[in-house]
Structure 1
Amino acid sequence: MSKSITIKNEGLSKCPECKGEDKLIYQQEWDRLFEYYDKSTQAHDLVVNRIYNDDKQPKYICADCSLKILVTA
């Protein structure tokens, strides 16, 4: 089972778990879901929580250790 974390730092350059440089893969599906929810939900935090909790879509996944990362702010 892969591990998931929530962080508040958007400027990631390496994985917080395994420290792998340039190993974070941005999930394009996250953008599509954000745009979909942004039209129907007023609060940014509610949008992010829906994407992560309802759709199970992290913003980044580490290519080395498979850490799933949600960035909240």
Structure 2
Amino acid sequence: MTSSTTNRRVLSTSPFQSAAPEPIEPFEVNDLLTHDRHGMGRVVAVGPDNKIHVDFGGGARTITLPNPKVTRL
């Protein structure tokens, strides 16, 4: 017998299902947010590939979304 993962069926009640990806919250320039490590900041630019540039007061940092440490205010 051969083992093939492409033909395996996943039951809807299986606890081993892959988790659905988190929805990405859209940010715009001048949105306020908090970061668990850096504190409060303001979005200064929105880049490609789900990246935002945030000014936390000590300089801008790039954050890739979704990020569990980021909360919109």
TM bucket, shorter chain? under 0.3
Q: TM-score, normalised on structure 2?
A: 0.22
**Which has the larger share of strand?**
2
**Which has the larger share of helix?**
1
